[in-house]
Structure 1
Amino acid sequence: MNKPDFTFGDLVSVAGYPDIIFQVDGFREERHYYPHEQWDEMVYELIECSRGDWLEADEGDLTLVADAAQADEYLRANPPKAAKLNYEEDLAMYYFGEFGFGGSKKEKEAPKPSARELSAQEAERRKKARKERAEAVDNLLDRRKWYADSEAEDKVERIAEIDEELRRVSETR
């Protein structure tokens, strides 16, 4: 099991809930298995400090405000603002706002891509670059063959230009 970044009683802020302080009530590790991949993630159960509303959040969405040992002192010095988490509005935004059917006036924050998503994007970019390079080489080889078979007066010069271009394309990685 991975060591959690936060523990019981820590005060945290959650992405998407500005100026609201939560306290870690519990956490769990979830394991996901699929045919070609698997991963673990830590999910935290949180209690909102001013009203006691409950929320679950992924580890990547949390920022430490004060550790458990300093929590009481922090809360005395910075009393939490009374805030009501509007789950109905969040759900409406999730289900309807993104698709233009109404929803909340709040701007939805674009989620940061995970390491897995970034890796997949990089792999896709490399695959596309390899495909484009292979197509360029095929095109240049076809042109070279055409000039080699032709009776054009400048065929030697054209073949030399194509060979130079082939060297440049094949050196690019």
Structure 2
Amino acid sequence: MNPTFSFDDLVAVDGYLGRIFYVDSWREVKEHEEWGVSEYVEYSLTDAINGEWLEAFDTDLRLVCRKENAGDYLMAFDMTDYPKAASATVHWTDYFIGIDRAEEAVGMAREPKETPKTARAASAQEVAKRKRKTDGLLDEYNDYMRLYAAFGDAEYKTKAEGVLAKMRREAGE
């Protein structure tokens, strides 16, 4: 039995729309039951943006990109509407005090804490933000140059040069 995906490949998981995961590990499972034997591959995954951990069957995964291109893919990935992680937080009070009395525990917040972003996700988000800003400036520059070409008004060319100067300043930072 050969796994379909390799370590650090980016995959999409059925039921987790809009989210991408790294393949952390995989295991071959062979189950012997009363009516026969079943074999399948099971994967351990980590959300590439918020670090949430997940297990999934190979049949539930689709390849987004191989590990060689994962860094480039994440740098260009738009994270503006990325879904939040579904929290699987378990509080110790649920077990030791009992679920009915857990809310009475002093100092225990019942709301799950937000998962901190991984460094990889934070840098990819920053790169995506800069890319959007640069794309906006390039669009503005191209618009002014089209207007200058169409009407020949020097004011459009001056504004285009101002946008170009702004892009140079931003690139020098």
Give TM-score, length-normalised by structure 2. 0.47
Larger Cα-atom Rg: 1
Of structures 1 and 2, the one with the larger relative CO (CA 8 A, separation 6+) is 2
Give TM-score, length-normalised by structure 1. 0.47
